[in-house]
Chains A and B, each alone.
Chain A
């Protein structure tokens, strides 16, 4: 167990370093920088010389290699630098935005899993064939709904027409209700699809027929024999989907006016705020790595055939 964990952690660090290096190079290759965006503002009427001086005062003229190591060592110390665009340290921005996105991601993830399970089990266990077929078609349909459209539709109907929840000026938890509904459906859809596919596949295996001939009821077979065997791919895909939640936050947070990582990213991209973007990339990479590691560690709990000592895995 321990050497496996050590190897995985080393792996994770390499991935993080790779993400940092790659994003650093990409951001340097882009034309212009945050100083161009902020100070080449016609309102300010600065001369090219004045802008060059400002660039000097920000240290934005140093060599790329020096900047790379400066940023890297800063991050290792937990110093994410300074947002040129918003005029505050990046850590201040993260402190306000990260909890919002984490809260949204956690709620949506839980709701999405519940939705996926409900759809998949109902589509397997419902009495009438046409009902089962309808439910089985649902994930494909839900997955095709664009989040921005669904979000706006939810707001228009639940908030503006029925006036159930406010969209603007809502409290931190109240503000989560509509966005959670909006993202959980398209996120839950692929989960339901995978789970449903697996349930069907497992149900067709010979051992299930044996169980049934021994006199087990349909539901008992489903929950005691089929479902436990179908859960593993579902777990894998959950990990990927959780990462998608962070990425999908850009659209959702803009629609619902939430000030999370998504909206921060969108503003940072517009302003080419390199320090913020670099921090966001690192946080997303870390989140992915952490989630996938957790899921790998959870596998053996569901499938005793998997060992983490490295024999089966390597």
Chain B
């Protein structure tokens, strides 16, 4: 039955030999909706077994950025709007239509009648208002944190039972897209009364989505059951989900997820490593690699650290990095080389690859100029201090440790030492807040709106560069007012064309300053059995089980 032995020892490093086929594969999966292979129409019924590699941590909608959380929330909650994953256009969902005033400070949504939460309560204007009041302001008493997609929020107003209006203090053009993300999934009134602590238990979460959490074994399994009365899908869809049930099983071991899929014990799995892709393809199984459309997988500098405060040093390290080598040696065609700070499919992308060229001679020259001179031991020194930098590898990012070790070898050739560090989860978080300990950090975030740049770089958001007055109290002086003004402008500009132009400006500014070294565009790689049809993903690559159906196995 088998031509090859299963993944006992996957042939690592074979990826280099198969870019051609994978490019074809990824090109045909360029759109986020994957065509069903069979000619016959969808079949109702069946249980899909989905293997996740981590357990969810919390199902409060704004926690949806963590993939296991988002993967569940996407099935059990609906959003006001739906972002077409291909065109990135905003389309109706819970809101049938909306009006926005000229300066983008007032958003009025008309709610589709007849929607109910799975506890029977009505989804009306009042509960939508309550959701966004809490997402925007958080709740101290219930420890609910604020959502990163709702900024400058003033208030909500219920105009009639099916009309709600949101007012903002400053223009907020990103809000409309913000209503479509998983982090804005609408929860029932009863769910919003619970404290953050209680929202870890899946059965406590009541949404209006096509599935409900029917059963849960904490840390192990979440069972979703389709709602037979669901009639309010995205973009005007009026059907229920095709599947009857989805069993989400936490299976942390890579080879077990893949082996179980290939042995017919599972139908769909998340997180296929680049070196395992060939096995999937050879057996006639399907690979899906939707883009996360956000900030690329990159090394970000913390310029507050004196070692990397000089732009020339940062530029030298950028040019000392052989990105092609990384992508061909460790990854597959599903991981395109980064061509800017954000992904090619992200809104407002500008191709800046000419600025990212590998040029070790230029790197050496820039380091000399900055006063870092080569010593006999092959390292560069200034005032008897070696140019040695530390970075923590990021567990959730694909093959990150290996990638950083390869970069360390590349940098060593120009006389720079990169120490790849590891530590306890909390230890890493604390280190990453201290620019003196971590002059570099791994960065990556997905969101299909220009606001993603602000999410990543703005001091009161993720603050990846660590600016003074941001997330960290350890920063001495570094702040970039010009960058912050640019980011602020993106999130406040009301003209969509201007927003995209400013997004390009911000990319140019960030790369001119050499604040980050973009490496690759990070996809989410899934694999599915041939019997799974209608595979689709939302805009940043979480599966929509609503569209999937099972054919003959």
Contacts and interface: CB of A to CB of B under 8 A. Distances in A.
Given A31-B424, A156-B5, A45 B148 contact: yes
Contacts of A87: 57-58, 196-201
Nearest to A31: B427
Contacts of B155: none
Interface in B235-267: 247, 249-253, 255-256, 259-260, 262-266
Contacts of B473: 48
Given A45-B461, A255-B253, 4 more contacts: A32-B430, A42-B463, A44-B63, A45-B460
Given A168-B51, A257-B252, A30 B426 contact: yes
Interface in A244-298: 254-259, 263-264, 267, 269-272
Contact of A37 (B143, B263, B426): B426
Chain A's interface size range is 35 or more
Contacts of B281: none
Contacts of A107: none
Contacts of A43: 62-63, 65-66, 148
Contacts of A32: 424-427, 429-430
A169 B260 CA distance: 10
A38 interface: yes
Given A44-B145, A169-B49, A272 B460 contact: no
Contacts of A160: 6, 259-260, 262-263
B462 interface: yes
Interface stretch (A49-57, A126-134, A303-311): A49-57
Interface string A158-173: 0111010011110000
Given A45-B462, A166-B265, A36 B426 contact: yes
A30 B2 CA distance: 49
Interface residues of B, number: 63
A267 B247 contact: no
B251 A257 contact: yes
A155 interface: yes
A53 B218 contact: no
Nearest to A82: B197
A34 B462 CA distance: 19
Contacts of B427: 30-32
Contacts of A12: none
B482 interface: no
A152 interface: yes
B396 to A, nearest CB: 12
B8 interface: yes
A266 to B, nearest CB: 9
Contacts of B266: 168-169
Contacts of A4: none
Contacts of B66: 41, 43
Nearest to A258: B220
Interface string B381-405: 0000000000000000000000000
Contacts of A37: 425-426, 429
B256 to A, nearest CB: 6
Contacts of A84: 197
B430 A267 contact: no
A42 B462 contact: yes
Contacts of A41: 63, 66
B7 interface: yes
Contacts of A167: 256, 259-260, 265
A93 B462 contact: no
Contacts of B307: none
A44 B58 CA distance: 12
Contact of A168 (B251, B461, B462): B251
Nearest to B47: A169
Interface of B: 2, 5-8, 49, 51, 55, 57-58, 62-63, 65-66, 138, 140, 143, 145-146, 148, 196-201, 217-221, 247, 249-253, 255-256, 259-260, 262-266, 424-427, 429-430, 433, 445, 455, 460-464, 471-473
Contacts of B146: 44-46
Contacts of B250: 257, 259
11 contacts: A31-B424, A36-B429, A40-B433, A44-B62, A44-B145, A45-B146, A57-B140, A163-B263, A163-B264, A166-B265, A254-B253
Nearest to A267: B219
A25 to B, nearest CB: 16
Contacts of B143: 54, 57
Contacts of A46: 145-146
Contacts of A255: 253, 256
A269 B473 CA distance: 26
A41 B461 CA distance: 11
A13 interface: no
Nearest to A153: B8
A161 B6 contact: yes
A28 interface: no
Contacts of B461: 42, 45
Nearest to B145: A44
Q: Which 9 pairs, one residue from A and one from B, show the smallest C-beta to C-beta distance?
A: A87-B200, A32-B426, A259-B220, A43-B65, A160-B263, A42-B462, A44-B145, A160-B259, A36-B426
Contacts of B259: 155-156, 159-160, 167
A163 B265 CA distance: 9
A85 interface: yes
B471 A169 contact: no
Interface in A87-112: 87-88, 92-93, 96-97
Interface in A4-62: 30-34, 36-48, 50, 53-54, 57
A141 B508 CA distance: 61
Q: Which of B8, B65, B461 has the most CB of A within 10 A?
A: B8
B265 A85 contact: no
A86 interface: yes
Nearest to A170: B265
Contact of A40 (B220, B255, B429, B445): B429
Nearest to B464: A42
Contacts of A38: 57
B102 to A, nearest CB: 29
Nearest to A42: B462
Given A37-B429, A255-B256, A168 B265 contact: yes
B426 A86 contact: no
B200 A155 contact: no
A73 B455 CA distance: 44
A152 B251 CA distance: 13
Contacts of B65: 43
Contact of A31 (B145, B199, B430, B462): B430
A101 to B, nearest CB: 13
A272 B428 CA distance: 12
B57 A85 contact: yes
B140 A53 contact: yes
